[in-house]
Amino acid sequence: MLSGSFNLYFIVNVSVENLAPCKKLVRVELDATAVDAAFDAVTKDYQKQAALPGFRPGKAPRAMVEKKYDAEIKDEAKRKLIGDAYRKAIADQKISVIGYPDIEEVQFGRGQILQFTATVETAPEFQMPEYKGLTATIETKSVTDADVDKALDLLRGQQADYKTVTRSLTNGDIAVVNYTGTCEGKAITELAPTAKGLTEQKNFWIETEGNSFIPGFAAQLNGANAGDKRTVNVDFPADFVTPQLQGKKGVYEVELVEVKEKVLPPLDNEFAKKYGAEDFDKLKAGVRTDLENELTHSRSKSVRAQTVKALLDKVTFDLPETAVANETRNVVYDLVRQNTQRGISRELIETQKDEIYSIAATNAKERVKLAFLVGRIAAQEKLEASQEDVLKRAQQLAMMYQMPFDQFIKDLQKRDGVNELYQQVLHEKVLDLLEKNATITETAPA
């Protein structure tokens, strides 16, 4: 019921003990006079608002109010005293606290000295390294005519027509097949329960050019005609997408159902109009611009990654355990979500939980460490995230998630995510600064 703070000039003692890196024990002691003043203030506040039988609101005798609301008065006085004393002690001792304190009451009561301890996690202390002039190496690249032609061929492929032919399959065709696969004499799903598509398919399209599907599979079908059956032997690569099959051999019984010839459209003005360009020259110019923008983005991404690594390597300091634990949980959640979206079952994820946790813990430590460095750089450079910056970021995310902007903002507020956006914007500003001030060496393409 009471608002405002008590007079805390009665704090008689504050001591700080280092329990571990980034963890302190703060002991606070208040004079009994402060405790009695708090009880008096809270009691008066209750007395003003109490409605007891036989008395108008605010007119009940103090003794009756104290008797009826004794527990509530005691709880509120304790809460306010400890809260205000804790904040003042932390400010006076200039302790940078992370998260919430673990407060244990030692002594509290009317006419008694208040004593309590607060176990807190603190921001790490470290000497800020030089963050301007961090080195990065990038390849000297430019968009060539060959790059543009390759991109146009990809666009052309998107508009391809597929014509069924009666001749033998040759390189560049599409093979429409039925197949069943085994590995080590067993159905593939016995080794990899989620790999149903690798075990059996009907009317499955395989490009014969390149190493689509499984490397070496399509090449063994060349020369076959519709209706032919062949046994195809494959070696699953060491980095194959299905872990249980990596480095193993597979055997497929394949029936060629159809041979389809890939017919590409001509590169002309009509083709260009399908992509919203006035003519082919405009399409070609637009493709070049897109490739140049991609190259610029790729260079920027590489420089940022290298400067961040260089910054992390420049300094070592202890990290708050709770911050690392919280971030580890976030990374684990992201990894599990990504694997689930890729079709990996919960059962398989469970078998890999130790590996997932190990990866998550390493990533979390780097993220937490970088967050403290970014915070210090932002403070030194007086970088700020304006409301306009945050709104722009929110609009970008709403578009990315294909959500109405108003709905995205409501969801953000519901989960208290506005501060997270501020941090994201500030993070980007710091990375911009690192990139702008990096010492970049260009090398010839490999």
What is the separation, in whole angstroms, between the first and last Cα of the chain? 71
CA distance 269 to 285: 13
| 341 and 432 housed in the same domain | yes
On whether residue 310 sits in a domain, the answer given is no
| 111 and 169 housed in the same domain | no
Q: Tell me the CATH number at 197.
A: 3.10.50.40
Q: Residue 425's CB: how many other CB atoms inside 10 A?
A: 20
On whether residue 149 sits in a domain, the answer given is no
Residue 278 burial (10 A CB sphere; 0-12, 13-18, 19+): exposed
On whether residue 360 sits in a domain, the answer given is yes
pLDDT value, residue 3: 44
| 424 and 373 housed in the same domain | yes
**What contacts 263, CB < 8 A, 6 or more positions away?**
160, 161, 162, 163
Do you know the residue count of the chain? 446
pLDDT value, residue 61: 82
CA distance 361 to 330: 10
On whether residue 339 sits in a domain, the answer given is yes
Q: Residue 388's CB: how many other CB atoms inside 10 A?
A: 9
Range(s) of the domain holding residue 376? 316-443
The domain boundary residue, chosen from 246, 263, 280 = 263
CA distance 125 to 408: 37
Is 8 in contact with 90 (CB distance < 8 Å)? no
| 227 and 114 housed in the same domain | no
**What contacts 237, CB < 8 A, 6 or more positions away?**
215, 246, 247
Place of tokens 């690798």: 198
Which of 424, 373, 313, 364 has its CA nearest to residue 124?
A: 373
The domain boundary residue, chosen from 263, 292, 326 = 263
Tally of domains within the chain? 3
Is 19 in contact with 94 (CB distance < 8 Å)? no
32 by DSSP, 3-state: which?
Answer: helix
| 104 and 185 housed in the same domain | no
Q: Tell me the CATH number at 379.
A: 1.10.3120.10
pLDDT value, residue 29: 93
Ranges assigned E (strand) in 274-390: none
| 342 and 415 housed in the same domain | yes
Place of tokens 């590169």: 267
pLDDT value, residue 4: 47
Q: Tell me the CATH number at 100.
A: 3.30.70.1050
Summarised one tens digit per residue, pLDDT across range 309-364 is: 999 999 999 999 999 999 999 888 888 888 777 767 677 778 788 888 889 999 99
On whether residue 82 sits in a domain, the answer given is yes
pLDDT value, residue 443: 93
| 19 and 82 housed in the same domain | yes
Three-point CA angle 177, 180, 339, nearest 5°: 95
| 29 and 80 housed in the same domain | yes
- Is the sign of the CA dihedral 274, 279, 281, 286 positive or negative? negative
CA distance 357 to 338: 14
On whether residue 107 sits in a domain, the answer given is yes
| 114 and 167 housed in the same domain | no
Is 257 in contact with 226 (CB distance < 8 Å)? yes
| 407 and 331 housed in the same domain | yes
Which of 326, 354, 350, 329 has its CA nearest to residue 340?
A: 350
pTM score, whole prediction: 0.75
Q: Which residues of the chain have pLDDT under 50?
A: 1-4
